[in-house]
């Protein structure tokens, strides 16, 4: 089976490795063009490109797949199947029709919930207790195709965007490997149409979402801190200083203080009054600094230990 793989970020790499290990022939890897990265803003290859070059696989990096030239290049590889994992470019209908067996997509949610760009973080933000990955037969709509295989995993209260990302990347590779093994053995996967109810869209994350609004319930802010670790992070003001919050817990702490006021500060963390309950911050980062514990932060700001709101 001749496979063309399309992906870009670190999430896609385990699936590329699963394709290579399956016995299928990965004839080409498509990934987005090199982008500026780091403080020097030098052009940097995507994680998928790096993995492909290390494996000796041909790499294609078109700006778009809409041109006849790009489509002809893809067709020349004579793919039986295309596997798409967080590629980041839209596949036109003509591209979807090129592989003999169509195009598969590995998506990090339990479809139809959280179609779109940021399903991992949106699931945490919404307070979902379960998520998973789906192996989907692609069609023209945004993540609307029938599901071929699905695997589930719980979302724990300790999960962050980073930990859930890594777990789902591994689960996605496992699901893809199972699907490829079935096809290579001569079988066919049953395609189950997505439900028409329960559709939710996971819009792309924006830096503008990073501010913590202490007027909201503490549990909502806890989910935000977890979901936005490692990116875009959660920004807040503690007694006049802007900081980035990396770990926090919603706690039951009766108070009549205004949202944003420090109501307790000690070894266990810094409790901030919220619209409902309080948010106890346990890890944070000062401007230009590194991630530190709340206890270390209080060593630098000892006045907060005696700053108590009612």
* Residues making up the binding site for (6S)-5,6,7,8-tetrahydrofolate: 109-112
Q: Are strands 234-238 and 2-7 parallel, antiparallel or unpaired?
A: unpaired
Q: From the annotation, which residues make up the binding site?
A: 109-112
- Gap between the Cα atoms of 136 and 85, Å rounded: 11
Token match 């070059």: residue?
53
Q: What residues are paired with 3 via a beta bridge?
A: 26, 81
What's the sign of the alpha-carbon dihedral 210, 214, 220, 226? positive
Tokens of 294: 């709340």
Within 10 angstroms of residue 251's Cβ, the number of other Cβ atoms is: 17
**Which residues have a Cβ under 8 Å from the Cβ of 302 and sit 6 or more positions away?**
none
- Gap between the Cα atoms of 189 and 182, Å rounded: 7
């Amino acid at each position: 089976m001749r496979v063309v793989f399309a992906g870009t970020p670190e999430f896609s790499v385990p699936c590329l490795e699963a394709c290579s290990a399956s016995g299928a022939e990965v004839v080409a890897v498509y990934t987005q063009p090199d982008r500026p990265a780091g403080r020097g803003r030098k052009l940097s290859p995507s994680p998928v490109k790096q993995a492909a070059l290390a494996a000796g696989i041909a790499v294609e990096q078109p700006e778009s797949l809409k041109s006849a030239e790009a489509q002809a290049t893809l067709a020349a590889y004579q793919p039986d199947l295309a596997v798409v994992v967080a590629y980041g470019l839209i596949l036109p209908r003509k591209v979807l029709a090129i592989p003999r067996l169509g195009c598969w997509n590995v998506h990090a949610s339990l479809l139809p919930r959280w179609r779109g760009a940021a399903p991992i973080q949106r699931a945490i933000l919404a307070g979902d207790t379960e998520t998973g990955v789906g192996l989907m037969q692609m069609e023209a709509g945004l993540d609307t195709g029938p599901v071929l295989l699905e695997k589930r995993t719980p979302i724990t209260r300790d999960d962050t965007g980073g930990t859930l990302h890594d777990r789902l990347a591994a689960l996605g590779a496992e699901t893809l490997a199972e699907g490829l093994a079935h096809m290579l053995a001569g079988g066919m996967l049953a395609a189950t149409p997505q439900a028409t109810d329960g559709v939710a869209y996971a819009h792309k994350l924006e830096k503008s979402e990073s501010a913590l609004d202490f007027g909201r319930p503490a549990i909502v802010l806890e989910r935000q801190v977890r979901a936005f670790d490692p990116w875009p992070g959660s920004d807040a003001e503690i007694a006049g200083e802007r900081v980035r919050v990396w770990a926090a817990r919603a706690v039951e702490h009766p108070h009549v203080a205004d949202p944003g006021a420090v109501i307790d500060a000690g070894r266990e963390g810094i409790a901030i009054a919220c619209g409902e309950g309080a948010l106890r911050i346990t890890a944070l980062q000062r401007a230009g600094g590194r991630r530190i514990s709340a206890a270390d932060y209080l060593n630098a700001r000892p006045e907060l230990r005696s700053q108590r709101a009612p």
